[in-house]
Amino acid sequence: MRRVRPQAPRVSAPGLRQPGHRVRSIWTPKNGYIVVTNKRLRIVTLPGDGIGREIVPPAVHLLGVVEAALGGFKLEFEDRPDMGALYFKESGRDISPEAFEAARQADAILMGAMGWPAVRHADGTEISPHLRLREEFQLYAGVRPIKAFPNTPRRLLDERAASIDMVILRESTEGLFYTHGKGEVIDDREARETLRITRATTEKLCDTAFRIARGRKRRDPSKGRVTCVDKANVFRAFAFFRKIFDERRALFPDIRADHSYVDAQALDLIRRPWDFDVLVMENMFGDILSDLGGGLVGGMGLAPCAELGDEHGLFQPAHGSAPDITGQDKANPTATILSAAMMLDWLGERHGIDALCEGAALLQDAVEEGFATRALRPMEFGGDQGLKAAVKATADLLGAKLAARRPARAPVLG
């Protein structure tokens, strides 16, 4: 029987029509109509320290599996080990000029873990080049998904804890981190740091929060709520933060909005975390509450992170370098894999390439199915799988999902 080729779909994707970025739709018997582009995306990997050097290469491998199966884009990786505490110990610099420039030129950055307890500055602070990247690239939006996966450790006995699914959005360039590396200790009698809130950054942060909530509402109508977390009853800076939040909420009438003081919010994250959708807050508050949220759903091994600016995106697990298990095949790769999925989704939205977004969804689905079926059993959660076994299990699940894909008949992007 002769296969009848359907009419080519109309593709509406302004983001695709860029100089040097051709767009055409072709029919394939296996996949139906697909959008073919010549888009090459340059990814810089910064493995960093400790287990960071062990968990980034497997994530890159899985991204390569997605690329080979879906097509329509090309991921080009450049590995830069010349950054982090151990590099600082060798060279006296936390990041080489070459690594910094590579990161600046990249379409996205995939990072491992930074820091080593025994390597510190003279003032006692840790080596933290990633904070400098936040500042230099203006990565103001720290996106921390907090999601409960099946068969992972539960910190709360309430059965509703299985439905925890929220996003903590942390401002990442100012707040109390504004004077990072520039605070002062006066005559060994007192120390001072400065908290800074600016209108320009807070407006962009709040808009990002409402857009995230809008996207979540499209997938789940019960979502679509943003909570401003602050201390507006005590500090002028936080009253200013809340004022800007209330101004921006008027631009998103389809999204519910409310407020919470940070101390009450910490309590409510223990009492009823399943009630929240998107929480937006200042830098230090977000640093603390996002780790609390990670603990609620099993630990930092399930805590991916995206740090986004207007021109740059950096993706990393929220956990540390874990010197105590480095080199022992015990690291949990899940947070890094989920961060890589976030990177694919961000690149897909940014460049209008639907295959990237599909790959992100398949990668996350593979992880979720792995926990649901107990195919994923990382040692961090009391399981029997080391790093290599957990990566293989994830790769097998991803491969099965890619093989089972249904052909796309009429993709409409944009």
| Same domain as 292, residue 170 | yes
| Same domain as 204, residue 105 | no
Residue 115: inside a domain, yes or no?
Answer: yes
* pLDDT for residue 37: 59
Residue 233: inside a domain, yes or no?
Answer: yes
Q: How many domains does the chain have?
A: 2
| Same domain as 158, residue 58 | no
* pLDDT for residue 34: 53
Residue 1: inside a domain, yes or no?
Answer: no
CATH number of residue 282's parent domain: 3.40.718.10
Residue 230: inside a domain, yes or no?
Answer: yes
| Same domain as 248, residue 339 | no
| Same domain as 277, residue 161 | yes
Residue 147: inside a domain, yes or no?
Answer: no
* pLDDT for residue 207: 98
Residue 148: inside a domain, yes or no?
Answer: no
414 residues of the chain, pLDDT tens digit each: 344 333 333 232 333 333 334 444 455 555 555 555 568 999 999 999 999 999 999 999 999 999 999 988 999 999 999 999 999 999 999 999 999 999 999 999 999 999 898 888 888 888 888 888 999 999 999 999 999 999 999 889 999 999 999 999 999 999 998 988 888 899 999 999 999 999 999 999 999 999 999 999 999 999 999 999 999 999 999 999 999 999 999 999 999 999 999 999 999 999 999 999 999 999 999 999 999 999 999 999 999 999 999 999 999 999 999 999 999 999 999 999 999 999 999 999 999 999 999 999 999 999 999 999 999 999 999 999 999 999 999 999 999 999 998 654 333 332
The parent domain of residue 109 ranges over 21-129+311-317+324-414
| Same domain as 274, residue 183 | yes
| Same domain as 170, residue 87 | no
| Same domain as 122, residue 213 | no
| Same domain as 193, residue 248 | yes
304: tokens are 């991916």
